[in-house]
Chains A and B, each alone.
Chain A
Amino acid sequence: MITDPMEPAQTLLSARKVTKTFGSLKALDAIDLDVTRGEVLCIIGPSGSGKSTLLRCLNQIEHFDRGAIWIDGELVGYRQDGDTLYELDDRAVARQRLACGMVFQRFNLFNHMTALQNVMEGPVTVLKRPRQEVRKEALALLSRVGLSDKHNAYPAQLSGGQQQRVAIARALAMKPKLMLFDEPTSALDPELVGEVLTVMRDLAASGMTMIVVTHELTFAREVADRVIFMDRGWIVETGTPQQVLGEPSEQRTRDFIAAVLS
């Protein structure tokens, strides 16, 4: 049997006509998007272009008004019966969110827990897995992000770069199928950006499917399989890093890249 490269099982995420309005503002205007397993997708664009909103819709932190998203073949946020979509309850939504790990611009580590407790919280409280086993995995994850000596530190005792690496470990502890990064280095001091990007590079090399909203064009050029440029709720341009960042076909993309690089 010949495997078709476009076979649906290869597609991890599909979004069709995803639309979201805040009052009169169209944050997302009928977005179509497909992400293949193992793909690293970088989304760039000016602030207010809808890129963070798109990411938050994928993980149901934000509600979208129209359209549909499937992750690993499962319809997100609704149960379909014929032509009717029934909104899922809190518990079912929480279960669906397990498919995605999310890393936030402002880290959002649980301030009352140590680094290790942050990483262990999900597997122990949500997945109800045995504490001893989870602890071993959490320690391994913390050493993978280069923080084995910091597992007893509280977030307030860590630098921004260290907090963001703990946040990545916390998301990975849930063994997600897909990692979402919402401007993970925008809140960091310039000298701390590198350590976070290094962890993300390793993660991409390990075969993790990643969607990264970022302003780090160098990272996008080196790591991304595909780059999307968004503006005003639209996907203006999509292609390989070489196409979108090297020789963009749209004027808006060229202006944005020039502005970021200047």
Chain B
Amino acid sequence: MTPAAGAATPTMPDPTTYTIRSRRHYGRWLATALIVLALAGIVRAFALGQIEWPIVAQFLTAPAILFGLVNTVIMAIAAMALGISLGVLFAVMVMSPNPVLHYSAKGYIWFFRGTPLILQLLLWFNLALVFPTLGIPGLFDFRTVDVITPFMATLLGLGINQGAYTAEVVRAGILSVDQGQTEAAQSIGMTRPTIMRRIVLPQAMRVIIPPVGNEFISMVKLTSLASVIQFSEILRNAQTIYFANGRVIELLIVAAIWYIAVVSLMSFGQHFLERRFSRGQANRGRGQ
């Protein structure tokens, strides 16, 4: 110990005996109070508003509503499956050195991203006006109105449109995987398809899943657009009921509750998928 330090120490009181008082966060208290007040106001307004809550409860499990719910979920899954398949296919095509494959995939993405979804649905639904029959000439023919049911029109409209967006997401995912991974896989004798399946796509998933999860959630809600082409999904069935009984808001609330329930369940599933595919990553998505 130097003499200088020895001289300074006796004049200093022991700092461990001090009491420490935290800062008062007046701003936070104020914000909290305002938000609690606003929430209470909203709850009160809805409780006193012209909503017959027993009717909401009654129709929440009505057969027509549950039937619509099942159709909504089936359609979202089927359209998303079609969208992801087309997305992977067109992503690989866009990345192909063959110019015909490249530009036809680009053209597909350009067309379907460039037109409103509701317009595409109407086009598919009215396909019979352009082509009265579908098939391969001389082999088989179907009347278009028999093939393009509301279900088929919705599936094609939603799925093909989704494929255009998913193609870009998949392409970004594939590009995010370092070229060195492919070279290492080649060096142990893997063929191109095996490299894609075993090495590149599993690592691309980490980048692909968050946006695709997001799009899946959008898809659940986009199925409601199919109500304009008579597909009996949940919103259309709710509308059919309120045209008959006049309980507009109650039935819209019923539909809203089901949409939120389905979407919440999916967000939960997305969380687990993301964890699964971030194996081996130092950063598993939460900073520390």
Q: Out of B180, B189, B279, which one reaches A122, CB within 8 Å?
A: B189
Q: Which of B181, B190, B194 contacts A108 (CB 8 A)?
A: B181
Contact of A94 among B183, B190, B202, B282 (CB under 8 A): B190
User: How far apart sit A114 and B178, CA to CA, in the bound complex (Å)?
Assistant: 18
CA distance A110 to B199 in the complex (A): 7
Known contacts A61-B183, A108-B183, A112-B279, A174 near B203 by CB under 8 Å: no
A97 and B180 in contact (CB under 8 A), knowing A125-B198, A154-B280? no
B2 at the interface (CB under 8 A from A): no
Please name all residues of chain B whose beta carbon is closer than 8 Å to the beta carbon of A251 when the two chains form the complex.
none
Is chain B's binding surface mostly helix, strand, loop or mixed? helix
- The complex places the Cα of A112 from the Cα of B178 at a distance, in Å, of 13
Q: A99-124: which have CB < 8 Å to B?
A: 100-102, 104, 106, 108-114, 121-122
Contact yes or no, B189 A101, CB < 8 A: no
Find the A residue at minimum CB distance from B183. A61
Interface residues of A in 119-145 (CB under 8 A from B): 121-122, 125-127
B33 to chain A, nearest CB (A): 45
Task: Among A98, A125, A154, point to the contact of B279 (Cβ < 8 A).
Answer: A154
Q: In this complex, which of A101, A108, A171 has the most chain B Cβ atoms within 10 angstroms of its Cβ?
A: A108
B189: chain A residues at CB < 8 Å are: 94-95, 97-98, 122, 126-127, 174
Verify B188–A171 contact, CB threshold 8 A. yes
- Give the CA-CA distance A121 to B181 in the complex, in Å: 13
Contact residues of B between 183 and 206, Cβ < 8 Å to A: 183-192, 194, 198-199, 202-203
B98 interface residue (CB < 8 Å to A): no
Is B281 part of the binding interface, using a Cβ–Cβ cutoff of 8 Å? yes
A149 within 8 A of B: no
Q: Which residues of A contact B190 (CB under 8 A)?
A: 94, 122, 125-126
| Cβ contacts under 8 Å, B282 to chain A | 156-157
> Residues of A within 8 Å of B, CB-based: how many?
34
- Per the bound structure, the CA–CA distance linking A95 and B185 in Å amounts to 12
A31 to chain B, nearest CB (A): 20
A101 touches B187 (CB 8 A): yes
Contact of B184 (CB < 8 Å), options: A98, A104, A156: A104
Q: A156–B203 Cα gap in the complex (Å)?
A: 14
A58 to chain B, nearest CB (A): 11
Q: CB-CB < 8 A to A165: which residues of B? A: none
Please, which residue of chain A has its CB at the minimum distance from the CB of B184? Answer: A108
Residues of A within 8 A of B184 (CB): 102, 104, 108-110, 167, 170
Are B186 and A97 interface neighbours, CB within 8 A? yes
Nearest-CB distance from B265 to chain A (Å)?
A: 27
The answer to whether B180 touches A94, judged by C-beta atoms less than 8 angstroms apart, is no
Given A90-B192, A108-B180, A121-B198; A102-B187 close (CB under 8 Å): yes
Which residues from B are CB-within-8-Å of A90? Answer: 191-192
Chain A residues contacting B185 (CB-CB under 8 Å) are: 110
A94 touches B187 (CB 8 A): no
Interface centre among A59, A90, A174 (most CB of B within 10 A): A90
Given known contacts A111-B203, A112-B203, is B191 in contact with A106 (CB within 8 Å)? no
From residue B192, how far is it (CB to closest CB) to chain A in Å? Answer: 5
Chain A residue at minimum C-beta to C-beta distance from B180:
A108
Contact of B188 among A91, A111, A112, A170 (CB under 8 A): A170
* Alpha-carbon gap, A90 to B279, bound state (A): 30
B281 touching A111 by the CB < 8 A rule?
yes
Residues of A within 8 A of B279 (CB): 112, 154
Are B191 and A97 neighbours in the complex by a CB distance under 8 Å?
Answer: no
Min CB distance, A118 to chain B, in Å? 9
Residues of A within 8 A of B202 (CB): 112
Note all chain B residues with C-beta closer than 8 A to A170: 184, 188
In Å, the complex CA distance between A174 and B190 comes to 12
Name B197's closest neighbour in chain A (CB-CB). A125
Does A155 touch B at the CB level, under 8 Å? Answer: yes
A112 proximity list for chain B (CB < 8 A): 202-203, 277, 279-280
For window 53-102 of B, CB contacts with A under 8 Å fall at none
Q: 20 pairs across A/B with beta carbons < 8 Å?
A: A59-B187, A61-B183, A61-B186, A94-B191, A97-B186, A97-B189, A98-B188, A101-B188, A102-B184, A110-B181, A111-B181, A112-B277, A112-B279, A122-B188, A125-B198, A127-B189, A154-B279, A156-B281, A156-B282, A157-B282
Closest 7 CB pairs of A and B: A154-B280, A122-B188, A108-B184, A102-B187, A108-B180, A156-B282, A98-B189
Residues of B that sit less than 8 Å from A by CB: 178, 180-181, 183-192, 194, 198-199, 202-203, 277, 279-282
Interface residues of A (CB under 8 A from B): 59-61, 90-91, 94-95, 97-98, 100-102, 104, 106, 108-114, 121-122, 125-127, 154-157, 167, 170-171, 174
